[in-house]
Amino acid sequence: MVTVEAEAVAAAAIRDCIASQERLLEEERLRSLVEAARLIVESLSHGGKLLLFGNGGSASDAAHIAADFVGRLQRERRALPALSLCANDSAITAIANDFGFEHVFVRQLEALGNRGDAAVAISTSGRSANVLAGVSAARDLGLATIGLTGANGAELAAAVDVCLSVPATNTARIQEGHILVAHVLCELVERQLA
């Protein structure tokens, strides 16, 4: 049975989500979103690909975003090359076992990344060691780097070319914002490349 207290908790969570997503409309955040889309369009237009990575829920987001680019979000268009570095269990566990977990994205970027590609690093905290190491490797390889993080993600923000920071500290609210931002990114890219 649903109680008044449960309804209040649900309503508070929804209001909190709406409030953090409304703050994505701030001019600086919109500018970053458009700039991130420009970097991806530039990469894909010149034969590059999009490489995405993160841990836990962010790994799931990386796979979701890659699927939207390869499949489609809204427009009929050619498939766009995007790959989640979180999807290959064998590579992740072999790299983690042989080199350490902090190298699971670095090794894959070294194998799959090329100058002119774009990388999207996702970390709600902005402090995940393996994500930051992946960003460093991506930059060394000449990839454009985009970060998705939360309000306290200054470390990731400082490491990437463009950062899309969801103005929230609650992990669930940040992840909800990341999917919204990712869908908008994909929509902007589709409009340019369709």
The residue ranges of the chain whose pLDDT is under 70 are 1
For the chain, domains (ranges, CATH) are 4-193 (3.40.50.10490)
- pLDDT one-digit tens code per residue, 29-62: 999 999 999 999 999 999 999 999 999 999 999 9
Mean pLDDT of the chain: 96
Q: What pLDDT is recorded for position 1? A: 57
Output Rg (C-alpha) for the chain, integer angstroms. Answer: 17
* pLDDT over 70, % of the chain: 99
Rounded CA separation 73/184 (Å): 10
